[in-house]
Amino acid sequence: MARCYNFCAGPATLSLSVLETARDEMVDYQGCGMSIMESSHRGKQYAAVHAEAESNIRELMGVSDDYAVLFLQGGASTQFAYIPINLLGEGQTADYTNSGAWAAKAIKEAKLIGDVNIAADCGSDIPTRVPSQDELQLTDGAAYLHITSNETISGAQWKTYPTVDAPLVADMSSDILSRPIDVSQFGLIYAGLQKNLGPSGAALVIIRKDLAERVPSGTPTMFKYATHIDKGSMFNTPPCFSIYILNLVTRWIKEQGLENVYQQNVDKAAALYAAIDGGDFYRGTAVPECRSDMNVTWRLPSEALEAEFVKQADAQGFKGLKGHRSVGGIRASIYNAFPAEGVDALVTFMKDFQSRNG
Ligand SMILES: *Cc1c(COP(=O)(O)O)cnc(C)c1O
pTM: 0.98
Q: Do 76 and 50 lie in a common domain?
A: yes
| Residues 314 and 201 grouped into a single domain | no
Last residue of a domain, one of 227, 255, 283: 255
What is the helix (H) or strand (E) element at residue 101, kind and residue range?
helix 101-113
> Is the pLDDT assigned to residue 310 strictly greater than 90?
yes
Could you tell me if residue 5 is inside a domain? no
Per-residue pLDDT, 2: 84
Query: Which atom of ligand 1 is closest in space to residue 79's alpha carbon?
Result: 9
Q: Could you give the number of structural domains in the chain?
A: 2
Q: Whose CA is nearest to atom 5 of ligand 1?
A: 76
Same domain, 268 and 190: no
Task: From 320, 327, 326, select the one nearest 346 (Cα to Cα).
Answer: 320
Residue 10 lies in a domain: no
What percentage of the chain's residues is helix, strand, coil (to nearest 5)? Answer: 40, 20, 40
CA of 280 to the centre of ligand 1 (A): 32
298 is annotated as an active-site residue: no
Task: Say how far apart CA 129 and CA 125 lie, in whole Å.
Answer: 7
Q: Which residue, among 153, 164, 114, has the nearest Cα to 130 in the 3D structure?
A: 153
Is there a single domain that holds both residue 275 and residue 170?
no
Domain boundary among 255, 272, 305: 255
CATH code (residue 250): 3.40.640.10
pLDDT in tens, 228-278: 999 999 999 999 999 999 999 999 999 999 999 999 999 999 999 999 999
- Segments forming the whole domain that contains residue 342: 258-357
Which alpha helices (DSSP H) does 238-339 contain, by range? 240-256, 258-277, 303-315
What is the rounded CA–CA span in Å between residue 215 and residue 88? 8
Q: Are both 166 and 20 inside the same structural domain?
A: yes
Regarding whether 324 and 293 lie in a shared domain, the answer is yes
**Residue 75 CA, ligand 1 centroid: distance in Å:** 7
Q: Above 70 in pLDDT, residue 221? A: yes
Of the residues 255, 286, 321, the one at which a domain ends = 255
Residue 65 has pLDDT above 80, yes or no: yes
Helix (H, G, I), strand (E, B) or coil at 105: helix
Check if 195 is active-site: yes
- pLDDT tens sequence across 6-25: 999 999 999 999 999 999 99
CA distance 261 to 151: 20
Region 273-288 average pLDDT: 97
CA distance 197 to 217: 33
Task: Assess contact for 110 and 116: CB atoms under 8 A.
Answer: yes
CA 303, 308, 309, 314 torsion-angle sign? positive
Query: Residue 126 in contact with residue 287, Cβ under 8 Å?
Result: no
